[in-house]
Amino acid sequence: MTHTDARADDEKAVNHAASQTQQGQPDLAGWIPERPALAPNVQLVGEMRETGFKDRQWLIQRDGRFMQLTELLYRILEQANGERTLDEIAARVTESTDWMVSADNVRQLIQMKLAPLGLIAPASGMVVSRDEHRARSPLALNVRMRMLGPHLIDPFTKVLQILFAPPVLIPILVAIVIAHGWLYLVHGVAASFRDALYTPGGLLIVLAITLAASVFHEFGHASALRYGGGKVRGMGAGIYIIYPVLYTDVTDSYRLGRWARVRTGLGGIYFHLIFALGAMALYFVTGREFVLVIVALINLEIVRQFLPFIRLDGYWVLADLTGIPDFFSQIGPFLRSVLPIPGWEGSKLPDFKPWVKAVFAAYICVTIPVLSLLLYLLVTRLPLIVATIQDSLLVQAQIFSAARAGGDFLGMAASGSQMLMLALPLVGIAYLFYRLGWTLIRVIRNQPTAGRRITGALISAGVIALVALLWIS
Amino acid sequence: MLEKKVLSPEVLEAQTAMELPDREMMALVVINPSGLIDVDVDVGDITVTVQDVNVGANVCANVLASNSDITCTVTQQ
């Protein structure tokens, strides 16, 4: 047997074993090295701080992605340096935990849990191959385009993080409260909207400034992360469900304590409010009423950001307050942990604290119907939405032509930006259905028996026929 | 010295490792373009509905320039 053949056989065996492990039949006995070592792409991070779990949880990074581990698994990884034998690892893990751990226990945990995930380097030096091109969930940010890297963001956040220091933060919050009280209780916003409508190009200016406020919002997250000791990974744009979004990658906040994570989640809203405060200051300087429309639009955006049903700021703040790392990806494992349904295979979560368990259950009970209703409305109204966007695009095209003929550059800019904004949700809708389709195909394909695959296909065909019927009628 | 607990098969089975998703803090860029706002242009007793606020503003500007006795207002629907 050649070296290449051996490597291929080794990898095949590991993949086979990994797939069997998922079905509860581990088979890596001959593969576990006598002196196990961490896979080269794995880094130990440390304890997850202030979580909602009963027992301590631990963090590692694999290829830059965080993984949450229970203590025994982490302790084994901690000791697996390629020099210690299974017996030595067992002795050290026994020393550092409440458990009496044997070499067999270590072998079993590596075999059942760590090796299938590619966290331990195999005996031959190969790493378990894994499908790294997993499809992203339709409820995750998609079509991500990173525009700013840490080297461009860090110089700004180095300065802006000062805004989170209590001696600065408290006076700003007081000023925000007073200014908003004045706007809504004394001055009002009706005249501001009227002024924005009357001022040629006024709404366009307002919208451009509102977009700038969204960028500032993102710097709020990045600055809060930095203030808490985390490192931002990038900023950019993408499509979330069907809407265009700006985003900041604050994945590093998993390493932080509860309040630093909450601060990172609220940082965007705090910066949005600072921007609103700036707009009100601009009003006092210029006397232009329409500037105050920006404040009203920012406040509406803040209300929307607090909705916890999709991954906006409110979602992450709620997750961090409860100490649940992520609701959506842990719904399945959570339900498997609390509902002992026979035949429902898959990973389970460690035990949550009772109050956290209650919050998670309530969240599922509210969110699943809300998201199902939103999806139903989107699907059933899709022909109407597409037709409306198409009509609006045609109207905008005419307005654009008229503006171009008249040399009206402001009009051209307005209708051009409107056409772009109208086209983006269309792209988002198409992408959402593409993702949902692939998710469905993957779920059906992964069913363990042919009977279940056929049943899944028939149910899907029925749903598609029903949707088609709704569109026609 | 504390007595160590023995690892049962259930405890071993309960050990978990799961990947956490990336955390992306998002701000929706949902702009309500001015052209999509229907507006009423009231010229005296006549009401004209136009789609673009700029068109409405231009109509009023022309009306007011030609006859200052007529009132002209733009109202968002």
Label residue A286 by pLDDT band (50, 70, 90).
very high
Give the Cα separation of A113 and A121 in Å (integer): 13
Q: Give per-residue pLDDT as tens, A162-190.
A: 999 999 999 999 999 999 999 999 998 88
Of A49-53, A218-222, A453-457, the poorest mean pLDDT is in A453-457
The DSSP H or E segment spanning A59 is: strand A57-62
Query: What is the tally of helices (H) and strands (E) in chain A?
Result: 16, 9
Report the residue of B4, B8, B25 to disrupt the A interface, i.e. the one with the largest count of A CBs within 10 Å: B25
Give the Cα separation of B31 and A206 in Å (integer): 10
Q: Which residues of B touch A267 (CB under 8 A)?
A: 25
Q: Which residues of B touch A221 (CB under 8 A)?
A: 25
> Would you state the pLDDT for residue A20?
42
Question: With 70 as the cut, is the pLDDT of residue A156 above it?
Answer: yes
A144 touches chain B (CB under 8 A): yes
Report the residue of B8, B24, B63 to disrupt the A interface, i.e. the one with the largest count of A CBs within 10 Å: B24
Label residue B53 by pLDDT band (50, 70, 90).
low
Residue A394 one-letter amino acid: L
Contact check, Cβ <8 Å, A414/B34: yes
| CA dist list (Å): A446 to A32, A74, A337, A424, A453 | 28, 30, 21, 33, 8
Q: Give per-residue pLDDT as tens, A189-209.
A: 888 877 776 776 676 777 788
When pLDDT is averaged across residues B22-37 and rounded to a whole number, the result is 69
Q: Give per-residue pLDDT as tens, A111-128.
A: 889 988 889 987 665 555
Label residue A255 by pLDDT band (50, 70, 90).
very high
| CA dist list (Å): A402 to A396, A408, A413, A417 | 10, 8, 12, 15
Query: What does the DSSP assignment read for A245-301?
Result: EEEEE-GGGGGS-HHHHHHHHHHHHHHHHHHHHHHHHHHHHH--TTHHHHHHHHHHH
A347 touches chain B (CB under 8 A): yes
> Would you state the pLDDT for residue B45?
61
Nearest to B33 by CA among A302, A201, A215: A201
> Would you state the pLDDT for residue A13?
38
> Would you state the pLDDT for residue A184?
92
A110 touches chain B (CB under 8 A): no
Contact check, Cβ <8 Å, A245/B27: yes
Label residue A224 by pLDDT band (50, 70, 90).
very high
Query: What does the DSSP assignment read for A398-434?
Result: HHHHHHHHTT-HHHHHHHHHHHHHHHHHHHHHHHHHH
Label residue A393 by pLDDT band (50, 70, 90).
confident
Using CB atoms, which residue from B20, B24, B58 is nearest to A247?
B24
Min distance A140 CA to chain B CA atoms (Å): 9
Give the Cα separation of A248 and B12 in Å (integer): 38
Cα dihedral A263, A265, A266, A269, rounded to 10, equals 150
Q: Which residue of B has its CA nearest to A104?
A: B7
Tokens, residue A53: 């779990």
Residue B76 one-letter amino acid: Q
Q: Where are the beta strands (DSSP E) in B7-66?
A: 17-19, 24-28, 39-43, 46-50
Question: With 70 as the cut, is the pLDDT of residue A135 above it?
Answer: no
A210 touches chain B (CB under 8 A): yes
Question: With 90 as the cut, is the pLDDT of residue B33 above it?
Answer: no
CA A78 to chain centre: 28
Q: Which pTM does this prediction carry?
A: 0.80
Label residue A25 by pLDDT band (50, 70, 90).
very low
Label residue A30 by pLDDT band (50, 70, 90).
low
Planar angle of CA A220, A138, A235, nearest 5 degrees? 25
> Would you state the pLDDT for residue B48?
62
Question: With 80 as the cut, is the pLDDT of residue A383 above it?
Answer: yes
Q: Which residues of B touch A304 (CB under 8 A)?
A: 28
Contact check, Cβ <8 Å, B5/A117: no
Query: What is the share, in percent, of chain A residues with pLDDT greater than 70?
Result: 89
> Would you state the pLDDT for residue B77?
53
Using CB atoms, which residue from B13, B29, B33 is nearest to A245?
B29
The DSSP H or E segment spanning A137 is: none
When pLDDT is averaged across residues A142-147 and rounded to a whole number, the result is 89
> Would you state the pLDDT for residue A472?
80
Question: With 70 as the cut, is the pLDDT of residue B46 above it?
Answer: no
Residue B40 one-letter amino acid: D
Nearest to B22 by CA among A253, A267, A242, A333: A253
When pLDDT is averaged across residues A1-28 and rounded to a whole number, the result is 42
Contact check, Cβ <8 Å, A203/B34: yes
Total number of residues shown for chain B: 77
Of A330-334, A406-410, B68-72, the poorest mean pLDDT is in B68-72
Question: With 50 as the cut, is the pLDDT of residue A1 above it?
Answer: no
Q: Give per-residue pLDDT as tens, A79-95.
A: 999 899 999 999 999 99
Min distance A64 CA to chain B CA atoms (Å): 10
Give the Cα separation of A217 and A229 in Å (integer): 19
Using CB atoms, which residue from A66, A105, A254 is nearest to B12?
A105
- Give A132-137's long-range contacts (Cβ < 8 A, gap of 24+): A132/A63, A135/A435, A135/A438, A135/A439, A135/A442, A136/A435, A137/A328, A137/A329, A137/A435, A137/A439, A137/B21
Q: In this structure, are strands A99-100 and B5-6 parallel, antiparallel, or unpaired?
A: parallel
Return the residue matching tokens 């849990």: A113
Number of inter-chain CB pairs under 8 A, A vs B: 188
Tokens, residue A268: 């965007």
Contact check, Cβ <8 Å, A304/B28: yes
Tokens, residue A105: 């226990």
Tokens, residue A291: 């500037």
Q: Which residues of A touch B52 (CB under 8 A)?
A: 399
Give the Cα separation of A308 and A363 in Å (integer): 9
Tokens, residue B54: 């700029």
> Would you state the pLDDT for residue B57?
62
Supply the DSSP symbol for A48.
P
Q: Which residue of B has its CA nearest to A208?
A: B31
Query: What is the share, in percent, of chain B residues with pLDDT greater than 70?
Result: 35
Question: With 70 as the cut, is the pLDDT of residue A291 above it?
Answer: yes
CB count within 10 Å of CB B11 equals 14
Cross-strand bridge partners of residue A42: A62
Burial of A252 (0-12, 13-18, 19+ CB in 10 A): buried
Contact check, Cβ <8 Å, B24/A144: yes
Task: Answer left, alpha or beta for residue A291, where phi above 0 means left and psi between -120 and 50 means alpha.
Answer: alpha
Q: With a threshold of 0.85, tell me whether the complex ipTM lies above it.
A: no
The B-side interface with A (CB below 8 A) comprises 2, 4-7, 11-37, 39, 51-54, 56-58, 74, 76
Task: Give the contacts of A109 (CB within 8 A, at least 6 positions apart).
Answer: A72, A73, A76, B12, B15
A142 touches chain B (CB under 8 A): no
Task: Give the contacts of B37 (CB within 8 A, at least 6 positions apart).
Answer: A203, B51, B53, B76, B77
Using CB atoms, which residue from A238, A243, A325 is nearest to B30?
A243
> Would you state the pLDDT for residue B17?
92
